[in-house]
């Protein structure tokens, strides 16, 4: 088995679990905090038989919106951490000021090549696209607040731009552009 495939499999497990956990925790916490009645029941019409039911449409809309937002945050926050880490890791090579600032904030431990590869960011970004896609689909169906759909779309777009930037940095290391390295 190729090394790339093995790494991709290894990296994909955590965001896959977080995606499901985010949705489930979002539903559970919203129901507990707002003391909402819900029922887990069987419905043989869908792909899976287990369904979560709420008694009225407004409660369903609220719970679905909040759980979608929590799901997005569960995937977006680690990705944001990887983006910041990668940016810092690549900035210190050209900017000594960054090292001074990081020393002042006691963040020198962040300067490692760990979790800064393009593959890690691409896989996390792909899971963020899935989470955003589901949220936007729900928004278009009217089962999620429009502002949640807008937030999901914006977060996915920004994360994609940073992932592309990482890809550019990595390709620059392999094929350096003339004006930078010669």
Q: Does 29 bind another protein (CB under 8 A)?
A: no
Residue owning tokens 């990482």: 166
- For residue 116, state whether it binds another protein (rule: CB under 8 A): no
Question: Does 150 contact another protein by CB under 8 A?
Answer: no
Q: Which of 32, 33, 35, 39 binds another protein (CB under 8 A)?
A: 39
Shortest distance, CB of residue 114 to another protein, whole angstroms? 22
Residues 6+ apart with CB under 8 A from 114: none
Q: Does 74 bind another protein (CB under 8 A)?
A: no
Q: Which is nearer to another protein, 37 or 95 (CB)?
A: 37
Is 126 a binding residue for another protein by CB under 8 A? The answer is yes
Encoded tokens for 20: 């499901």
DSSP-assigned letter for residue 114: T
Binding segment for another protein among 89-97, 106-114, 130-138, 159-167 (CB under 8 A)?
130-138
Burial of 71: CB neighbours in 10 Å, binned 0-12, 13-18, 19+: buried
The number of residues making up the chain comes to 182
Name the minimum Å distance from CB 92 to another protein.
33
The verdict on 46 binding another protein (CB under 8 A) reads yes
Q: Which residues are within 8 A (CB) of 61 and not within 5 positions of it... i.e. 6 or more apart?
A: 142, 143, 144, 145
Q: What is the DSSP string of 18-43?
A: HHHHHHHHHHHHHHHHTT---EEEE-
Binding residue for another protein, selected from 54, 82, 145, 162, defined by CB under 8 A: 54
Q: What are phi and psi of 175, to 5 degrees?
A: -120, 85
Q: Among 3, 33, 35, 48, which residue interacts with another protein (rule: CB under 8 A)?
A: 48
By the rule CB under 8 A, 34 interacts with another protein: no
Torsion sign (Cα): 117, 120, 126, 132: negative
List interacting residues with another protein (CB under 8 A).
Answer: 1-2, 5-6, 8-9, 12-13, 16-17, 19-20, 23-24, 27, 37-39, 41, 46-48, 50-57, 59-60, 63-64, 67, 71, 126-127, 130-131, 134, 138, 143
């Amino acid at each position: 088995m190729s090394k790339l495939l093995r790494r991709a499999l290894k990296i994909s497990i955590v965001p896959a679990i977080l995606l499901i956990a985010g949705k489930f925790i979002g539903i559970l916490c919203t129901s507990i905090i707002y003391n909402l009645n819900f029922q887990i029941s069987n419905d043989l019409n869908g792909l899976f038989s287990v369904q979560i039911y709420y008694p009225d449409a407004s409660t369903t809309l609220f719970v679905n919106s909040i759980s979608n937002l929590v799901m997005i945050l569960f995937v977006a926050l680690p990705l944001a951490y990887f983006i910041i880490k990668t940016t810092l890791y690549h900035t210190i090579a050209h900017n000594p000021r960054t090292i001074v600032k990081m020393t002042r904030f006691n963040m020198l431990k962040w300067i490692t090549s760990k979790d800064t590869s393009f593959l890690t960011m691409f896989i996390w970004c792909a899971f963020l696209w899935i989470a955003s896609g589901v949220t936007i689909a729900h928004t278009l169906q009217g089962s999620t607040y429009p502002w949640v759909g807008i937030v999901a779309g914006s977060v996915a777009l920004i994360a994609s731009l940073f992932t592309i930037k990482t890809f550019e940095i990595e390709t620059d290391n392999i094929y350096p552009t003339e004006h930078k390295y010669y």
